[in-house]
Amino acid sequence: MKEMLVYRYEDVIHAPIDLVFKYVDDDEKIKLWNTMLIENIYDNKENKPVPEPGTKFVTVQKLDKKIIKIDSELIEYEAPHKVVMHSHSKEGLSISKYLLSREHDGTRLIVEASLVPSNFFYKLTTKLLGWTAKFVFEEQYQNLKRYVENEAVEDE
């Protein structure tokens, strides 16, 4: 099946690129704005993130009252410009891309979430309900923008 773009977010955050990158890369910073993330469990003895392609981890998330665990892998990592992750679930392959670039007044952040559905049922479900993801994601990324811009103001 083909990759389907489920959600795309683009905004300029009024903060330096290195600070914005910390908030999409550092688990503790991500937990501040992403209300769904409980933790990432890494596939190494130290249970520490390794910023290199091929790093595997389990993402533990809370959706409503349900706790779900998703097998994830870091596919691309070019600090502070790009992070691409793949996550595998019964619905299919989820692809998350974070793209950052410097702007004259801050950092442009583009986030894309796509799905390669595992079967026709999930393809249809994604087509019918994919738009609902916008509401969840939009709120999270507005949180991200607020946190980063507040920290940037405090650092001035």
Residue 61: its H or E element: strand 56-63
92 falls within a domain: yes
- Name the CA radius of gyration of the chain, rounded: 16
Nearest to 70 by CA among 45, 49, 91: 91
Instruction: Record the pTM.
Output: 0.92
Average pLDDT, the chain: 94
Return phi, psi of residue 121, to 5°. Answer: -60, -45
Q: How many CA atoms lie within 13 A of 141 on its CB side?
A: 20
DSSP state of 91: T
50 falls within a domain: no
113 falls within a domain: yes
Model confidence over 92-141: pLDDT tens digits?
999 999 999 999 989 999 999 999 999 999 999 999 988 888 888 899 99
What's residue 117's pLDDT?
Answer: 96
Model confidence over 56-84: pLDDT tens digits?
999 999 988 999 999 999 999 999 999 99
| Model confidence at 14: pLDDT above 90 | yes
100 falls within a domain: yes
Block residue for tokens 């992403």: 34
Q: What is the CATH number of the domain that holds 95?
A: 3.30.530.20
Number of domains in the chain: 1
Could you list the residue range(s) of the whole structural domain that residue 104 is in? 4-35+73-155
